[in-house]
Structures are given as structure tokens and as C-alpha cells.
Chain A
Amino acid sequence: MTAPRTHERTALRDVPWLLAILGASVWQIFRSMGQSPTVWIDTLFENVFIQDCLQDHDCSLVGAGATAGIFHSAGYLHWRIFLEWAGVGPDGTHGAILVATALGVMLAAVAALRIDGRFAAAIATLLVIRSIGIPTQLNVVSDVAPLPFLGCVFLVLALAADTRPSLPMTALLGIVGGVMANVYATGLLCTVTSVWLALRVPQGRWKHVAVAVIAFGVSTFVIAPGTWITDAQLILSHGVVGNAVQGAAKRALFSIPLARLTAASIAIWIVSAIVRPSFRRRLDVTAAIIVPLFVPLALGSWTGKLDPQDKYCSHIIGAVAVALAVSAASAVRAVWSPLARRGSALLEQATAVLSEAAPYAAAGFIAWTAAHQTAPENAGTLSHFTYRDVANAQHILTTEHGWAAANARQNLRTLDDAVKRSLIEWPRGWHEAGPAGPLSRAYLLRVAREHLPPSLPPTTRKVTEDSAAATLLVYACSWIDWSSFRACVRKEGKENQECADSGVPAEQDIHSDYGTPGMPAADDVRKSPQYLTLRFPLKPDAACPVFSVHMPDVAGVCHGRIVGATGASIQFQQTDQWAVLTNPESGKTPELAIEWNLGETNCSREYRGAPPFFIEGDPASVDLVASTLPVWR
């Protein structure tokens, strides 16, 4: 490998391979993350802020609460509000984040090129592409998703500020850091980087430090003053306790892949400071970005205050990749160059050509992986519902069945309530009022291809399909009216049941939580384990003379049992997990009772104050839905 010849290059020569990397990255990121964002509970919380702002003219300058006990992300919410106001929908927002991330990959390559050369640029490109993805929430619309891109912007700007120091450049670096601090709280650490780099300026360093601090402070505060006022109040009240849940298992720091890479890059920087200070200087800018994040991350993890996660390293991915790439390229060069020099001139020339071609090879490799990515990374999982899934399902429900949002609230069943809520709250275009009958049921399911029935009955619609799975909407005829039932609770160790009228409301405020009125609150259940029995007064329907109930045993679902029924014949299918009801007694209202042990580990984690999922309806539909759900505990 030839030594870097930075001064001989012109920017124009680099443009083709940089564009190749950008194009390949766009392709690969869209192929692996999908063209539509995955349904995600935090996106729904963000949507509430957007709706409050654009519809109710109540825009927050405080932002959302973080698990660490502070408020943040207001700047990111401003950006989402700006996009929404400009008419950019969820798919467009997701696409903008993905394209920006691909641009970030290219910027990381630029940074590595400037420090070392093309070979390092190629390695950095591959490292960034390898590190981003689902762990950095790139598949969803969230405040974490833009961070790898913003981190790469900060990196190239930091390099520029370091090589050509000037007060405007220092100020711009501080302002970009201020933007990042308001996207995600870890961006606050950019102020340390700005000051670190300002202290490296040969002349007028204290002036640079002052400009860096003022630019960062002012931009941070101006974008979201409420955030920092509130956080200051919370911190002064000792209200911040870290993100670690008391009693819950915490991850070991080095079980996090990005933490390992980060530690490796810092170790190289420290070792080179001792062994080869000239090499260390090439890594100083990346270290100024990496160290301010890694120190609190490691200390927080080792003192038990912080549960480390990949996402906390999102904004330093570019810097880590560049530091490792420069180190690797230098190591290869140190070994290879003497060999090449001792060999023929042809070998030396070939080495130079290979080094020049390396970024094209990296772009080609990325394109090759994109071509072989048949479906988004998590497409095979049950939880992978995208915005397109829920938007298409909503379109089918409104156009084919005339449903309003109230119908969906009461009659749509999903394994995860977040999916149902996304379908109701995210897409627009619900009818004001829908059909009055409460007994039509719809199941929205993500079904792995191997579990798809060979032919779908007319009651089932395929909403979307990819090479890994399909999203199905299964209609059923039911005896249960979800708007009215009784919820009975028996605390562990007690015999008496306390019952309350319950029912899924037709209207629900978007600010409210997931609880169903009359059901025990999720927090209470976690404090004291209890048994929940739901008693459904049944409304037999002539359209479905036989009614079937099944309690599926699938991950993410609180698993219950059928207690029994009155006023109709009930026949259990081998166990209390599956029953068929027939022959309702005339003049009586049959009743079905189902029980859950909410103290059971899975239930206490998954219960959210709403009726847990089970399958009910005409036997054909219940069989179909049950056959598509894999048994997994």
C-alpha cells in the first residue's frame, strides 16, 4: 500500500468513487431497512407532539422524556414538525433519514481519505455500513435514527476545523453540535469535542474555546430552551437517576458491539500516544469525538447507573470507523510497503493501483450485499409491521368495510397493541362513522412465508408481501362485543374477586395510555401479582352458529386459559386453550370466562392494562389465524 499523498490529489478525482459509495450505500440501506418505517411505539409518542403542534397550536420546546430521567429531542421534533408541515409523510421521513445516513457513510469515507487515503476510506465505508442498522434504530422513525449521519457531518467538520482553524469554523462546529444536542441527549458531548479541538488550535486557543462554548450553548438553548430549563430544574432537584431499571438485569458494556469497537479505537489511540506519537496525532480528532462518549458510558455502566446500548454510540460510529480504518490501513502499509519496495517495480505499481481502486471495491461489495438482500433485515419477525402495512390495512378497512377509527378500536385485534394503535392513529382518512354492528372482527397478522396457507379464503386479504413474510387481514364473525365486559381481579393469596365493568372505548384521546377502563393498571400488576378474569356476555350471531376461542402460546403475548361458559354448550379441544361454543340457550345471555395469571413472568412484562390477545370468532377464521402463529416460548 502506498503512503498517503494527500497534497497530490484533486477533489475532482475523488468524486466518482465517492458517488459510487453514496449510490451503493443508498441501495444497501434501503434494501436492508425497507422503504417504509417499522411501527414503533416511540414514533407514536412523537406523532402526538406533532399533532399537538400543528393541529392544537401547542408546540413543545421541552421535548420528550428520556429513560435517563431528563427531557430531550425537541430539536428533532421540530424537524419532524417541519417535514410534516411540508407535506412529507412517514415513508418520506424514513426515506430522508436513510438517504442522509448513506450520505453520512460517504462523509466518513471523506474523513478517512483526508486523514490517511483511499484504502482507509474503503475500510471506513465498510465499517460504517456494518455498524448502522436495527441497533441504531435505522428501521424506524426515531430520534436515534439520524444520529449516525449527524455524527459523520460533525466528524468531517471537526477535521476541517482542526486542519484549517478559524473562528467561524469553530463557531460552526459548535452550532452543529448544538443541533445534535437537541436531536438526542448524547449530542451534548459534542461540546467537549468542540472545546478539545479548540484547545488544539496553535494560536488564540482560549478565544476559540470561548467561541466554541458560546456557539454551542446559544444554539443548543435557542433551538429548545424549554428542554434545558426543565433539565436544569430536574438535575438541581436530583431528579436524574440514569436509565438502569432497579432490579433489572443490565448488559455488560462489552456485550455491546459498538462499545467494543469504541474501546478498541481508544486503546489504539492510547497505545500510539506511547509508542508512536506521530501516528496518534492523526487520530486526535476522532479521539476528541469518541472519548467524551466512551468515558461516561463506561463509568455509567460500571457503576450500575446506565444500561449500555448500541444507540448511545450512534453519533460516534463515523469517528470510530475512521479511527479503526486509519489504524488498519497504516498497519497494512507498515507490513506491505517494505515487501513491495523489495519486489519488482511492477509489484509497487500494482499496489498503488490496488490502493486507488479500494474505494470502488468497497462500493462494489456494498452493492453486492444489497443485491443479495432479499428482504428487510427483520422482515421475518412477527413484530415487523411497517407504516405501509398499517396504512394499507386501514385503506382496506375503510374502503371495503366502511370502518371508522371507532370500529378499529373495538374490533381490530393485533398481537401487539402498538400495531393497532399505529393503524388507528398514524394513517389518515378514517370515516367519521362506521357500521354499528359490533360483531365483525378483523385480525392484522404478520405471517412468515412458511406459515402462509396455500390458498387464502375469501375472508382474508393480503395487505403486503415480501420475500420473507406477508401481512394478512383476516375477517371473522364473532359472539364477543368488546365494548362491554366485566374485568374481575383476584390478588395472589386471596380468594375474593373484585369485579368492574369494562369495555374497549370507541373514542380514545391520543394522549392517553394503553389502559382499558375497568382493567387493572399495568403498574399495579407489576407491584402485586394478580389473576385477571374477563367475563364476556356473548351475543350469538346467526351468521356464525359455532363460536371458537383459542389462547395462542406465542412470544410477546400474555398466555391465558379458558375457564368456562354458561348459557351455551362448550366443548374443550383437549386442553383449556381451545374451546368451541354452540347451542346458545334461548332467553339467556351466554357468558364466556377467560383467566390470565398476570403475575407470570411474561404477563407482567407484556400486560399493558388492556385485554391480552387471544383468538375468537368462527372456527374457520380462528383455525386460520392460529395456524399462522408459530408456537414459540
Chain B
Amino acid sequence: MSMRRLIILAFTLFVACVPPRRKPPTRPTGINHRIEDTFKTLMSTKALDKALPTGWKLDRFASGVDSLTLGFLDAAGVPHTVELLLKPSAGEPLQGKGQFFSFRIAQQSESAENIKALLDAARIVDEVTPIEALVAESNSPPPKQGLAERFKTAEPPVVIALGAIQVVIIAAGIVVALVAGRRRRAD
């Protein structure tokens, strides 16, 4: 098989297997659990720690309508807060923007170093928050999904097919390896 054919085959497989996500029919209640669970996962993997200066720790996390709030305490116990806003008001002073949220730092007197740390932490949360969960609560129209978001969930037939394809690939790998070896020894 030529390399060109391989690339075309791979691209076709890619396009065929990963359709844009359609909205699931219904979701159970307790939507905020999803945000909290995602955040707990984030905390358990300590992904936020790298963004924070030494001695900082998360003091509080709150999810409201259209917003998330992250409150940190530095080594001296001074609070630092960053809000992630889904729909910031016009003219509202913002310090950064992520995939879905705009970021507002609560304290006006933050140093440049602290602002950078807070924005880095906000960006991490912005990237992993299941946006549809927040949107479902706020009754806002969902923001336009980025390319990345389209590839994060799929319908069951796609996933079942991907599971089956993996079984076929491994089986093919075994058969080819055994047959190729047999041929060699028969040479």
C-alpha cells in the first residue's frame, strides 16, 4: 500500500468515526454534580498546583448561574479570587479569556505575578469544565462549540464500533505476527 493511500485511508477513517456530537436525549437531574465532579477530578490530579505559586492552596470553589468562582489562600493566608464568567456584562473589567469563560480577578491590587497565576488556574478550569452542564442551569444558549469540544463525546454506536475495531486490530496483529513468523521459519 502506498503512503498516499495510507494517509487517505486514515483520514477517511477519522472523518467516518468521529461525527460532531449531537445533544443527548435527556440528562438526569443533579447537573451541577458534573461540574463539581470534574473539578474534584482536577483537584485529585493536582493539575492546578503547577499553575499556583508555592504555598497557595484552593480555599473555595463555587458554581453559580453563568459563573464559577475559585478562591485561593496564599502562604500568608491572604485570599485571591478569580471568577470565570460565561456572560460578562458589557464594560465589565476582564483580565483574560478562555475557551468559554471570561476571567475577572476580584482584587484590584493583585501583583502581575499573582494575576498570571490566577489566570493560568482559570484557564485550566475553563478547559475541563463540562460547559453544557453550566449552560443547562443558566438557560443560556450554549456558546458555539470549539473544534476541541466536538471531539470529547460521542454517541454509543460510535464508541461501540471503536471498541469492536480495537478487538479486530489486536486479532489482526496476532494473526499477522504468527503467520509472518511461520513464513520466515519455512523459508
Contacts and interface: CB of A to CB of B under 8 A. Distances in A.
Task: Indicate, yes or no, whether A interacts with B.
Answer: yes
Interface string A506-532: 000101110000000001000100000
Interface in A17-73: 53-54, 56-62, 65-70
A172 B7 contact: no
B37 to A, nearest CB: 5
A241 B52 CA distance: 12
B90 interface: no
A67 to B, nearest CB: 7
Interface stretch (A124-132, A219-227, A540-548): A219-227
B62 interface: no
Interface string A134-167: 0000000000000000100110110110011001
A211 to B, nearest CB: 6
B3 A53 contact: no
A77 B57 CA distance: 33
Nearest to B176: A172
Interface string B1-20: 10100110011011001100
A241 B177 contact: no
Interface stretch (A4-12, A404-412, A588-596): A4-12
Interface in A407-462: none
Contact of B47 (A160, A175, A240): A240
A79 B176 CA distance: 22
Contacts of B154: 59, 61
A62 B152 CA distance: 6
A176 interface: yes
A586 interface: no
B27 interface: yes
B120 A238 contact: yes
Nearest to A48: B37
A511 B45 contact: no
B93 interface: no
B33 A512 contact: yes
A498 B124 CA distance: 35
B164 interface: yes
Interface in B1-53: 1, 3, 6-7, 10-11, 13-14, 17-18, 24-28, 30, 33-34, 37, 40-51
A201 to B, nearest CB: 14
A502 to B, nearest CB: 19
B177 A234 contact: no
B147 to A, nearest CB: 8
A82 B160 contact: yes
Contact of A234 (B127, B163, B167, B187): B127
A496 interface: no
Contacts of B128: 230, 234
B80 interface: no
A559 interface: no
A160 B181 contact: yes
Contact of A57 (B24, B48, B151): B24
A215 interface: yes
A239 interface: yes
A222 B17 CA distance: 7
Contacts of A584: none
A270 B142 CA distance: 58
Contact of B151 (A61, A114, A172, A211): A61
B166 A223 contact: yes
Contacts of A6: 185
Nearest to B33: A511
B112 interface: no
Interface in B51-67: 51, 57
B114 interface: no
Given A59-B156, A61-B153, A79 B178 contact: no
B3 A169 contact: no
Given A61-B153, A85-B156, A211 B173 contact: no
A608 interface: no
A345 B56 CA distance: 78
A160 B14 CA distance: 27
A214 B124 CA distance: 29
Contacts of A229: 148, 151-152
A237 B25 contact: no
Contacts of A54: 156
Given A78-B163, A240-B50, A176 B153 contact: no
B41 A164 contact: no
B45 A79 contact: no
Nearest to B41: A65
B163 to A, nearest CB: 3
Given A53-B156, A172-B176, A210 B3 contact: yes
B177 A157 contact: yes
B170 A179 contact: yes
A157 B159 contact: no
B152 A61 contact: yes
Contact of B185 (A10, A57, A241): A10
Interface string A221-261: 11111100110011001111100011000000000000000
Interface in B129-187: 148, 151-156, 158-160, 162-167, 169-170, 172-174, 176-178, 180-187
Q: Which 7 A-B pairs have the closest CB atoms?
A: A82-B163, A225-B151, A226-B152, A239-B47, A160-B180, A78-B163, A218-B10
Given A167-B6, A176-B173, A512-B33, 12 more contacts: A54-B156, A61-B18, A65-B41, A69-B47, A75-B166, A79-B163, A214-B6, A218-B14, A222-B162, A229-B152, A239-B124, A240-B47
30 contacts: A6-B185, A58-B24, A61-B151, A61-B153, A65-B45, A67-B45, A82-B167, A107-B177, A156-B174, A156-B177, A159-B177, A163-B184, A164-B180, A214-B3, A218-B11, A221-B14, A222-B10, A223-B162, A226-B151, A226-B152, A233-B127, A233-B148, A238-B51, A238-B120, A239-B47, A239-B50, A241-B46, A241-B49, A513-B37, A523-B43
Interface of B: 1, 3, 6-7, 10-11, 13-14, 17-18, 24-28, 30, 33-34, 37, 40-51, 57, 120, 123-124, 127-128, 148, 151-156, 158-160, 162-167, 169-170, 172-174, 176-178, 180-187
Interface of A: 6-7, 9-11, 53-54, 56-62, 65-70, 75, 77-83, 85, 103, 107, 110, 114, 150, 153-154, 156-157, 159-160, 163-164, 167-169, 171-173, 175-176, 179, 182, 207, 210-211, 214-215, 218-219, 221-226, 229-230, 233-234, 237-241, 245-246, 509, 511-513, 523, 527
